[in-house]
Amino acid sequence: MTRPTFENELKEIHLDILKMGAMAEEAIDKAILALKTKDVELAQRIIDNDDKIDELTEEIEKKCAIVIATQQPLASDLRLIITAMRIATDIERIADHAEDISQITLKLAKEDYVKPLIDIPKMAEITRSMLKDALDSYVNSDIELAKSVVKRDDLVDTMYQNLIDELEQIMKENSAAVSQCVQFLLVIKYLERIADHSTNIAEWVVYKITGMHKHEWEGREEETR
């Protein structure tokens, strides 16, 4: 495989990842919209579309394997390929969690919600913005943007714990609401996991550029303070 061919293969993989990322962002938005509006048709479409992202992940993995087998890439090139494979896996899992939320929408669609959905959509918006910025940092090789995504994970963790406390209080006061609250606990857990996977993507971007894992670059930042 010639170098131009190698560059073209990497470009194809890069574009596939961006396509996957856009699909995952859309899935998050629509999953939360379906949950808010109890739109079972929209929820079902998200569930049905998940296979497309799974197929794209497999395609990226195959392309990466072919590049490694035929090109024998240098260390810096290998880093790009490893990063692409890891990011594709995280995006696939993000899409899986959007599907999980959609499954819950199907379960709760005929019920009156125990509380207005205000904080869950706020949490979802932060997680979606983390994914968007992580992907933007990948496109632009923007280390600072990637690191800002990593820092935002703490905000999502705080929101997650606050919502757990609120739902637990509702369950204590209203035993009839326990089943529904359990489903909402799952929703916020899925959102927290989406934030974690977005953070993973951002950390892989830093690795792609610097060759350093999180504990290495955080350690260097501590030393310079």
Which of 22-42 are b and which e, b meaning 16 or more Cβ less than 10 Å from the residue's Cβ?
A: ebbbebbbbbbbbbbebbeeb
Q: Total domain count for the chain?
A: 1
Rounded to whole angstroms, the Cα distance separating 214 from 166 reads 33
CATH for 33: 1.20.58.220
Q: What is the pLDDT of residues 106-147, one digit of tens each?
A: 999 999 999 899 999 999 999 999 999 999 999 999 999 999
Average pLDDT score, the chain? 93
DSSP assignment of 5-61, as one string? HHHHHHHHHHHHHHHHHHHHHHHHHHHHHHHHHT-HHHHHHHHHHHHHHHHHHHHHH
* Residue 76 confidence (pLDDT): 81
At residue 211 the predicted structure's pLDDT band, cuts being 50, 70 and 90, is confident
At residue 72 the predicted structure's pLDDT band, cuts being 50, 70 and 90, is confident
Q: What is the pLDDT of residues 147-163, one digit of tens each?
A: 999 999 999 999 999 99
Tell me which residue range forms the domain holding 32.
3-224
- Token pair belonging to 192: 């927290």
Q: What is the pLDDT of residues 7-59, one digit of tens each?
A: 888 899 999 999 999 999 999 999 999 999 999 999 999 999 999 999 999 99
Cα atoms in the 13 Å half-sphere on the side-chain side of 143: 11
Question: What's the rounded mean pLDDT across residues 180-190?
Answer: 98
CA 93, 209, 133, 199 dihedral sign is positive
In terms of C-beta density within 10 A (0-12 exposed, 13-18 middle, 19 or more buried), how is residue 224 classed? exposed
Rounded to whole angstroms, the Cα distance separating 223 from 225 reads 6
* Residue 222 confidence (pLDDT): 63
Cα three-residue angle 62-8-202, rounded to 5 degrees? 70
At residue 2 the predicted structure's pLDDT band, cuts being 50, 70 and 90, is low
- Of 97, 98, 91, which Cα lies nearest the Cα of 17? 91
Cβ-proximal residues to 27 (8 Å cutoff; 6+ apart), any chain: 46, 49, 50, 53, 94, 95, 98, 99
Which has the minimum average pLDDT: 3-12, 51-60, 175-184, 203-212? 3-12
Q: What are phi and psi of 27, to 5 degrees?
A: -65, -40
* First and final C-alpha spacing in the chain: 46
Residue 176 pLDDT > 60: yes
